[in-house]
Chains A and B, each alone.
Chain A
Amino acid sequence: MENKTDILIIDDEKVILDAIQKIVSLDNFSSDACLDVDEALLKLETNTYKLIISDIMMPGKDGFQLLEILRQKKIATPVIITTGFSTLENAVKALYEGAIGFIPKPFTLDELVSIVARGLEYNKIFKNKYSLKARSMDELISYVPCPPKYYRLGFDSWLNNSSEGTIKIGLTDLYLKSINSIQSLDLMKVDEAIYQGGVCAKLTDNNELVHQLLSPASGKIIEINNQLFETNNLLEKDPYFQGWIYRIIPTDIENDKTNLTPCSSDF
């Protein structure tokens, strides 16, 4: 017996639950709100949601434990993690543990709307191919998985060793598919520093929604792929090779890799 509620929201602060519910209702999405993970798990027993938005620090079980339980229960509903303790470490951990997005508090309406849109797209991709509760990438065929030898940060971005100790970073096909065709790309500049889990690019889609891409590694940008601006749809056509975004000198690649998923495990 399934209801038609779209989004499950978990946060221990009522004001945030209300705010999120208000915002998603603007786009006519229905939502359920829970004050802790246990309550949410109860709801998940009976309902299937298109998207889950969860805080990290809550009384009882926390957001990471929720991700763990969902994995065990093979519930494929995409999860967006949000937290007031908005460190890069939490962002990286959330994506590594299987969340499809991370949105630090405090967020604006537009930021939330964008990430919710992306979350719902993920759900469509999962659902289109499989109606079963699968979470690992090899079960999804509608997009191109990242090549072996690559490492990825959640479903967001990838990195691959390039020449002379530099690495190239880019975004995954799955991330691209979750965005409704890119209209503009807002990149950082050469010599700027990027941090693992920090925003490294902003993509604006057809609906004027701005999506933030989190970097898979920390380092200094030494080259930007200008081909992206010269060749139409290069990113969409070849996100893993021609469509790389930055070449960087990593600060501590070995440490960064411990927070990444080897793409070889996807095959």
Chain B
Amino acid sequence: MLLFNKIGVKLMIAVSILVILILAVFAYFSIKFQSDILTAEVERHANQLSETIRQSTRFDMLANRREHLHNIINEIGKETSIRNVRVLNKEGEIIYSNLENEIGDMVDKNAESCYVCHAENQPLQKLTIKERTRIFRVNPDSARALGIINPIYNEISCWQADCHAHAKDKTVLGVLDISVSLKDIDETARKSSMSMLIYALIATLLIAIIIRLLVKHLIQKPIRNLVKATNYVAVGNLNYRISSTRKDELGVLANSFDNMTKKIAEMRMQLFQSDKMASMGKLAAGVAHEINNPLTGVLTYSSFLLKRAKDNPEMKADLEVIVRETKRSREIVKGLLDFARQSTPKRGKVEINEVIENALTIVSNQLKINHVELHKEFNKNITQISGDSNQIQQVILNLVVNSIDAIGSKGGTISIKTDQIKLSPYGIAQVRKATCPKGHDLMDEEHKINGRPSIKIKANSGNNEGFIHLDPIYGNHNHHYGIQFKKNEIIKLSCPQCNISLVDENELTPDCNAPAYKIIIPEQGVLKGCTRFGCNWQQWDVVDQSGEKNFVEIIISDTGSGIDNNDLEKIFDPFFSTKGQKGTGLGLSVIWGIVDNHNGKISVDSTLGKGTTFKIDLPV
């Protein structure tokens, strides 16, 4: 932004100009007033002096002691502040002066000292003190001077004196003219205006600085936050909040902005949801129609057979399974349509052990055919959990079928264990939102680890630069490294967007005394971890403090073929399948979705050739 476009600068300039104007006017009148008082003082002083000279020379004049008079004028003229003392006669001739060389000169009647009386050739006789005073400059560049004339009037004693120099009919005999230098006054005024100017400059500067600070704190900062927030929202981060604590108008604006973003986010979510629902609805309708027809065949024929198999208990039991499971399929398809209509899911109390038993009944034949030995280790005292038993049964069924497939025809063991456990959030809690200290979103929805969006951060190793995707599960360490690191190397971590360092050099981790990295988890504190490559220390205080929670744990392990390590992280991705034509690749992603919907967690551990273990933890 251009400097002059800033509100702060504009306000600063405007206020400064105003302050300067006000101070200038104030200074002008103040100096003028001061100067007037001083001038009046000098005037009074000059007048007094003039009177004194007139009085003191009166006797000499009467006695016509010119030499004596001259001396007095000369003596007085020596005073430094007095520029000139002279006496003019009526014709304008200088008869006495402290400046010897002008004696005898004629003064122009239009000259300043004479003009007051001789204007329009009408000599005035009585003059006020103001009228007798004049301020003038001898030369344009010399100091100002104040001149005062004092008319010497004719008196009885004058024309009766022995010298008979003056006639009786004259009114004014001459003029005593004193001029005093105003150099000192001018100097004082100049100094005054100088200091005024300095004070004005300092005051203006101070005001400008104060305004700058006020504007910065009261306007610029909140506005910058607002602009930042709008930028975030513009790029689609609708979870960004300003969270202003201010009570002023900008605070209200920030809160209203937050509120608006929240509403937009909700609206977008709703739109997204309805969009999803609409396409889901179309899909469901198609699927329902396609699946319901073959299901009708199965259901009618099996129920038909069931009716005819009344006398054959063994076949009847098998057929009952078919009928029951086909009815279950019917419920699933209906559920799909219900889902499309967004009717509430069938949540209820789920008895996990019972659900597992039901699932096992369905596959019991398959288990037998594949020579699978089943180990069941159920904790009978598991509390019921809240959920959809159909969906959970689907999860178990899918996993067991997968296990049977993995075991193949050569035979093996599947063990199913249920238990009620308390879990610390370590290894359970998932980071769903993460930002750098500047608020940039670090979550990478594209790059998933075990089916969950990862945390993307930039890493530097020597001259190498690349990205690390951190496992979003607190305490899990299936991080994906984009570049090579040396063993035990301390990695420099930064935000991919703004490059701000995520490492706090002052905080050292307890295990290896390396600096800790810090990732902001909005509204949930800070996730800390060790920057040393290979160290697994992590700490998330907020989550740790929330304490342990009750979970029902289901562990299904098999002695099957196992899953390749490279495939392990992809198995929960939709359409990922190792079964080739046999599978759709949707099974595990659906399972993952169901477990996630129940706020649970599913994890897998596998060794190629040894077997696979799935662990499901569902909150009670």
Contact = CB atoms under 8 A, between A and B. Distances in A.
Contacts of B292: 83-86, 104-106
A8 B108 CA distance: 146
Interface in B247-303: 285, 288-301, 303
A86 B300 contact: no
B33 interface: no
Contact of A26 (B285, B307, B323): B307
Interface in A16-38: 16, 19-20, 22-23, 26
A87 interface: yes
Nearest to B294: A15
Contacts of B289: 57, 83-85
A51 to B, nearest CB: 17
A19 B304 contact: yes
Contacts of B307: 26, 109
A13 B295 CA distance: 12
Nearest to B305: A109
Contacts of A105: 292-293, 295-296
Contacts of B294: 15
B316 interface: no
A108 interface: yes
Nearest to A89: B341
A19 B302 CA distance: 10
B293 A84 contact: yes
A13 B290 CA distance: 11
Interface in A104-127: 104-110, 112
Nearest to B337: A87
Nearest to B307: A109
A26 B303 CA distance: 12
Contact of A19 (B296, B327, B330): B296
A209 to B, nearest CB: 14
Nearest to A26: B307
B354 to A, nearest CB: 23
Contact of A107 (B288, B290, B300, B306): B300
A57 B327 CA distance: 22
Interface residues of B, number: 26
A56 to B, nearest CB: 10
B290 A84 contact: yes
A106 B298 contact: yes
B20 to A, nearest CB: 73
A187 B491 CA distance: 68
B326 interface: yes
B334 interface: yes
A22 B304 contact: yes
Q: Summarize A's interface: helix, strand, loop or mixed.
A: mixed
A182 B303 CA distance: 24
A19 B285 contact: no
A20 B300 contact: yes
A106 B295 contact: yes
Contacts of A109: 300, 303-304, 306-307
B304 A23 contact: yes
B323 A16 contact: no
Interface string A1-17: 00000000000010110
B337 A19 contact: no
B293 A108 contact: no
A106 B329 CA distance: 9
B326 A106 contact: yes
Contacts of A13: 293, 296-297
B293 A16 contact: yes
Contacts of A16: 293, 296-297, 300
A86 B293 contact: no
A87 B285 contact: yes
A106 B330 CA distance: 7
Contacts of A22: 300-301, 304
Given A86-B337, A105-B295, A19 B288 contact: no
A87 B341 CA distance: 10
A31 B334 CA distance: 30
Given A16-B297, A20-B300, A108 B288 contact: no
A106 B296 contact: yes
Interface in A93-111: 104-110
B288 A86 contact: yes
A50 B271 CA distance: 50
Contacts of A57: 289
Contact of B303 (A15, A84, A110): A110
Contacts of B295: 105-106
Among A23, A26, A108, which residue has the most Cβ atoms of chain B within 10 A? A108
Among B303, B304, B306, B323, which residue has the most Cβ atoms of chain A within 10 A? B303
Contacts of B330: 106
Given A87-B285, A108-B323, A19 B300 contact: yes
A23 B288 contact: no
Contacts of B299: 106-108
A85 B285 contact: yes
A26 B301 CA distance: 13
A108 B300 contact: yes
Contacts of B285: 85, 87
B288 A85 contact: yes
A168 B329 CA distance: 34
Interface in A51-101: 57, 83-87
Nearest to B291: A84
A19 B297 contact: yes
Nearest to A55: B293
Among A13, A84, A104, A107, which residue has the most Cβ atoms of chain B within 10 A? A84
11 contacts: A15-B293, A15-B294, A22-B301, A26-B304, A57-B289, A84-B290, A85-B288, A106-B300, A107-B299, A108-B300, A108-B327
Q: Kindly list the 10 A-B residue pairs having the minimum CB-CB distance in the complex, ordered from nearest.
A: A84-B292, A19-B300, A109-B303, A106-B295, A106-B296, A15-B297, A106-B299, A105-B296, A105-B292, A84-B289
Given A108-B299, A108-B303, 6 more contacts: A15-B297, A16-B296, A106-B292, A106-B299, A106-B300, A106-B326
